[in-house]
Amino acid sequence: MIKLYTFGPAFNLPDPSPFVTKVDLTLKVSGLDYEAVADVNNLQKAPKGKLPYIDDHGQVIADSVFISEHLKQKHNIDLDGWLTPEQAAITQLVNKSLDENHYWVVVYSRWVDDAVWPIVRDNFFGSLPFPLKHIVPKVARKKVMANIMGHGLGKHSKDEIIQIAHHSWQSLSTLLGEKPFFFGDHISSLDVNAFANLSAFTLAKLDTDFANEIQRYPNLIEFTKRIAQQYYPDEIDM
Ligand SMILES: N[C@@H](CCC(=O)N[C@@H](CS)C(=O)NCC(=O)O)C(=O)O
């Protein structure tokens, strides 16, 4: 059985990481037999120092994109196999935009925003013994702050980051329209990745300004609810 290494559920989400959620949902949609191994210490064993990674009968693959590629090569699982070449190209680029830009908005909303950080800190680190519960979150936050600065998103003001988020949400909302999924009646990797990213604001029990702002796009809210109802009826409280 495939083992998927995750952080474990948080904030009413199957996983706090959009990348982990992306792979988890891909595996659910594919119907392959898999087991999610939830442990924050998985990070220490991760081949690229990041989650997710999978162990497929001894074959260890890190990174959500390479995991998808592996599922295609080894198990013939391709959520985009039915798309036209043009739709597949759009999917590639929108997925990159979600991974490389929207993801950092999610990171900002949790780790940088002072209004939300104490809740995130207690959720992630609250169960550590003294004095680790005071030291580890400080070190971790410093590292995330350095990463988001290095990426560049962290250099913007909160209002500017909200604007950047609106650009993604507006485009996704237009692309989705009133359809059940981005390309009609069937799920594709774009739906999976959009769910993984948008649910961080539409379904997470975290009262961020971003969660308020995304309310302007009812079709995106309904989209994430529909996917949650279908694939996470017991894990996500709606
Ligand atoms: N390109 C990777 C990104 C994975 C990633 O950034 N994972 C984050 C969690 S969302 C992580 O493990 N961060 C821990 C760290 O950087 O120390 C993928 O697609 O899987």
- For the segment 12-69, what is each residue's pLDDT rounded down to a tens digit? 999 999 999 999 999 999 999 999 999 989 999 999 999 999 999 999 999 999 999 9
Annotated domain spans of the chain = 2-75, 85-231
Was domain 85-231 assigned CATH 1.20.1050.10? yes
Distance of alpha carbon 149 from alpha carbon 91, whole angstroms: 27
Is residue 210 a contact partner of residue 109, using CB atoms and an 8 Å limit? yes
Q: To test the ligand 1 pocket, which listed residue (21, 51, 54, 197) has its Cβ within 8 A of the most ligand atoms?
A: 51
Q: From the alpha carbon of 46, which atom of ligand 1 is closest? A: 12
Strands 53-56 and 2-6: antiparallel
Is 127 exposed, middle or buried (CB count within 10 Å of its CB: 0-12, 13-18, 19+)?
exposed
Amino acid 130: pLDDT: 95
> What is the pLDDT of the chain when averaged over all its residues?
97
pLDDT > 90: what percent of the chain? Answer: 99
DSSP H helices in 8-84: 18-30, 42-45, 64-75
Identify the H or E element spanning 127: none
pLDDT band for position 93 (cuts 50, 70, 90): very high
| Nearest Cα residue to atom 6 of ligand 1 | 50
CATH architecture of 2-75: 3-Layer(aba) Sandwich (3.40)
**Which pLDDT tens digit goes with each residue over 160-195?**
999 999 999 999 999 999 999 999 999 999 999 999
CA-derived radius of gyration, the chain: 17
| Nearest Cα residue to atom 19 of ligand 1 | 64
Compute the half-sphere exposure of residue 16: CA atoms within 13 Å on the CB side of its CA. Answer: 18
Residue 215: which of 176, 146, 166, 167 has the closest Cα?
166
Amino acid 129: pLDDT: 95
Residue 105: which residues within 8 A CB-CB, separation 6 or more?
153, 161, 164, 165, 168, 210
pLDDT band for position 5 (cuts 50, 70, 90): very high
Is residue 151 a contact partner of residue 111, using CB atoms and an 8 Å limit? no
pTM: predicted TM-score of the whole model, two decimal places: 0.98
Amino acid 81: pLDDT: 98
End-to-end, the C-alpha distance of the chain in Å comes to 30
Mean pLDDT of 207-230: 98
Q: To test the ligand 1 pocket, which listed residue (42, 50, 66) has its Cβ within 8 A of the most ligand atoms?
A: 50
